[in-house]
Amino acid sequence: MEGLVRAAALTDFAEVSRSLGYDAAAALRRAGLSPRVLDEPEMRLPAGVVMQLLETAARATNCDTFGLRMAQSRQVSNFGAISLLLTHLGTLRDVLTTTIEHLHLLNSALALQVEENGPLVIVREEVMSASLARQSVELAIGVIYRLCATLMGKGWHPRSVNFSHGAPASGALHRQVFQCPVIFDAEFNGLVCHAADLDVPNPAADPNLARYARALLESLPQSSPHTLSHDVRRTIYLSLPSGGATCAWVAQSLGRSLRTFQRELDQEGVSFSELLAEVRTNLARRYMESPKYEVGQVAALLGYSTHGAFTRWFALQFGLPPTEWRRRAMALEPSQDARTGAAVPA
């Protein structure tokens, strides 16, 4: 299913392009988008098209921090209809919970989760894409960092910022933006901060305005329907690498009994096994495109206990054994099918 994203995701695309001598309008037209989308922040755009637009711009400008540059000046107001509510909620915990609840209004290709682990918490964010999307990941992490930092006030920084992709040619911009340790080739994408940060009172909070903003938000027409199947996809993306993507676990995490969970999915015309297979296939392609993952690691990340079982499944899905698929994918130019996420030709 093609995810949709608000055109506000492209805020500062033109400005960053201009600073690098890149023609933003021409790039948008090549991607099949009108340059007017930059003036229509609430317009919904295909998420895959936006991701590819950013990757293409980064390659064309030889700027591997293109997405992060776009995130540098983001404000809470860029969140659109939920921005007033976010501004007046009581704590960062409330803000993150509300953002997760309304993520389908912002970007249906993003998955966001707060994982508490003793004194630390991981604010984990993943881009639901079959192909590597470095620029979209850095844009998304940069935006969520800006949201947290704006609400927490000057002087707040996370313990670390983590990216699952490799380091850029220079880490200077990352250090400047985040002002904390930045870890590349990490096991996840997201921020690590103190758990206590989640409950620090927001000095700008106004309960009355928050109630008004929530009521206003609930009265708006839903241009992007919120479905259980989409929540299931998000949960699988976040939990599969850690082994938690079972039907029972996902149902519980979404607050449903197993029977109710399966009935609601049936009503949407999809099964858990179909959603699991879809996400597993997308993640397999993404992991196999990255040489940092050995085939055995990919098998484990996708929930396979044996190399043989993974190899049989992969060959059935992709038409080639994993090692051969990777060899052919690595031989392709970046602009060809391995970059866009299409299957590698036999």
Structure token pair of residue 195: 């758990």
Half-sphere exposure of 37 (CA within 13 A, CB side): 25
The reported pLDDT for the residue numbered 345 is: 34
Q: Give pLDDT tens digits for 232-255.
A: 998 898 888 777 788 998 998 888
Q: Give pLDDT tens digits for 90-145.
A: 999 999 999 998 888 888 889 999 999 899 999 999 998 877 799 999 999 999 99
219 in a domain, yes or no? no
DSSP sequence for 246-300: -HHHHHHHTT--HHHHHHHHHHTT--HHHHHHHHHHHHHHHHHH-TTS-HHHHHH
CA distance 262 to 247: 9
Instruction: Out of 43-57, 73-87, 201-215, 223-237, pick the least confident.
Output: 223-237
Q: Give pLDDT tens digits for 160-187.
A: 999 999 899 999 999 999 999 999 988 8
Structure token pair of residue 215: 């009521």
The reported pLDDT for the residue numbered 137 is: 96
pLDDT value at 216 more than 90: no
Give mean pLDDT, residues 189-205.
94
Residue 188 sits in the same domain as residue 240: no
346 in a domain, yes or no? no
Residue 99 sits in the same domain as residue 181: yes
Which residue has tokens 């009503």?
A: 267
Q: b/e per residue, 114-146, with b = 16+ CB within 10 A?
A: beeeeebbbbbbbbbbbbbbbbbbbbbbbbbbb
Strand runs (DSSP E) across the chain, as ranges?
4-6, 44-46, 110-117, 120-127, 160-162, 182-183, 190-194
Residue 34 sits in the same domain as residue 141: yes
Residue 52 sits in the same domain as residue 115: yes
CA distance 68 to 137: 9
CATH code of 251's domain: 1.10.10.60
Q: What is the DSSP letter of 344?
A: P
Q: What is the DSSP letter of 11?
A: T
Q: Give pLDDT tens digits for 239-298.
A: 887 777 889 989 988 889 999 999 999 999 999 999 999 999 999 998 888 888 899 989
Q: Does residue 125 sit in helix, strand or coil?
A: strand
Structure token pair of residue 143: 């935006």
CATH code of 83's domain: 3.90.1520
Residue 8 sits in the same domain as residue 137: yes
Give mean pLDDT, residues 34-48.
93
Give mean pLDDT, residues 306-312.
91
Pairing label, strands 4-6, 44-46 = antiparallel
Residue 199 sits in the same domain as residue 251: no
The reported pLDDT for the residue numbered 224 is: 56
The reported pLDDT for the residue numbered 344 is: 39
Instruction: Assess contact for 181 and 125: CB atoms under 8 A.
Output: no
Q: Kindly indicate the confidence band of residue 3, based on its pLDDT and cuts at 50, 70 and 90.
A: confident
Q: Kindly indicate the confidence band of residue 337, based on its pLDDT and cuts at 50, 70 and 90.
A: very low
> In total, how many domains does the chain have?
2
Instruction: Assess contact for 49 and 8: CB atoms under 8 A.
Output: no
Residue 51 sits in the same domain as residue 118: yes
**Please, what is the angle between helix 322-331 and helix 307-318, to 10°?**
50
| Average pLDDT taken over every residue of the chain | 89
- pLDDT higher for 220 or 180? 180
Structure token pair of residue 182: 């930045």
224 in a domain, yes or no? no
The whole domain housing 249 covers 234-340
Residue 64 sits in the same domain as residue 134: yes
Residue 201 sits in the same domain as residue 110: yes
CA distance 173 to 339: 25
pTM: 0.81
221 in a domain, yes or no? no
Residue 114 sits in the same domain as residue 205: yes
Residue 62 sits in the same domain as residue 189: yes
Residue 185 sits in the same domain as residue 288: no
